[in-house]
Amino acid sequence: MSAQDRQNGSMIAVRGLEKRIGTQEILRGVDLEVARGETLAIIGRSGGGKSVLLKHLIGLMRPNAGEIWIEGQNIINMSERELASIRQKVGILFQGSALFDSMTVAENIAFPLREAGERDPKTLRKKVSEMLEIMEMQGQEEKMPVNLSGGMKKRVGLARSIIRQPSCILYDEPTSGLDPVVSDSINRLIRRLQKRLCVTSIVVTHDMKSAFDVADQIAYLHDGRIYFHGTPDDLRQSQDHLLQDFLLGRSDRRGSSPPERSAGN
């Protein structure tokens, strides 16, 4: 399996992933493949299990069944300490940014490097200011996270997750709760990172503009399974009612969709 994946150039492969939380079936057999260097947007309704799927990809949640292959390694049975090597290759931007609120912006961004053993204050300062420049946030080093706006927090969170130059970045709702202008700047940032770092990206979102802006491929997660997987153009041209309803933001008329779930996105 691993050799085959490497040959196919697939960075991430998910097979038959199932997850129950309590009595709710969140994922009912997700199959997904992401090629190296590709940007995949996972769209779907709120509460449909998108964030849950994303957390599985980095081992933050454990599935009830299925396999997850990252660069040819099955991460399902890895222990928390073994996962560290995978997590150095895969960065994640959390929905709420999850900045360490007792540290300044600079300390947050430098944290992964410091933990990896980099002690030289000059190098750290230089790397942090480089990151802030990419994020268009120069001179904000000494601010505390509590004094940042939502968009700035996302940028700092993103800077923290890419400072170790991962080969894959996972974005959990990067534009949720931001105004259209800030959302657009985040989308531009995602595209710029694709070009600059040549990373594989997975963007979980329900913001269709964002999905069309950044994605090479789009997957629609519905009812715990991947209902559609194709290019943005395929999606636009699709005559499927469910997809059309989602694209146009029509609420469900036939009652075939699952009810809104409360356990996260």
Cβ 111 to another protein shortest distance, Å: 7
Determine if 200 is a binding residue for another protein (CB under 8 A): no
Measured distance CA(16)–CA(227) in Å, rounded: 13
Burial of 80 (0-12, 13-18, 19+ CB in 10 A): exposed
Phi, psi of 91 (to 5 degrees): -100, 155
Query: CA triplet 152, 134, 113: central angle to 5 degrees?
Result: 85
Q: Are 167 and 85 in contact (CB under 8 A)?
A: no
Cβ 98 to another protein shortest distance, Å: 4
Determine if 1 is a binding residue for another protein (CB under 8 A): no
Measured distance CA(63)–CA(20) in Å, rounded: 8
Q: Which stretch binds another protein (CB under 8 A): 99-107, 130-138, 186-194, 207-215?
A: 99-107
Compose the 68-87 pattern: x for residues touching another protein by CB under 8 A, - for all others.
------------xx-xxx-x
Nearer to another protein among residue 1 and residue 60 (C-beta): 60
Contact pick of 111, 118, 143, 216 for another protein (by CB under 8 A): 111
Contact residues for another protein (CB under 8 A)? Answer: 55, 58-60, 80-81, 83-85, 87-88, 91-92, 94-96, 98-101, 111-112, 115, 160-161
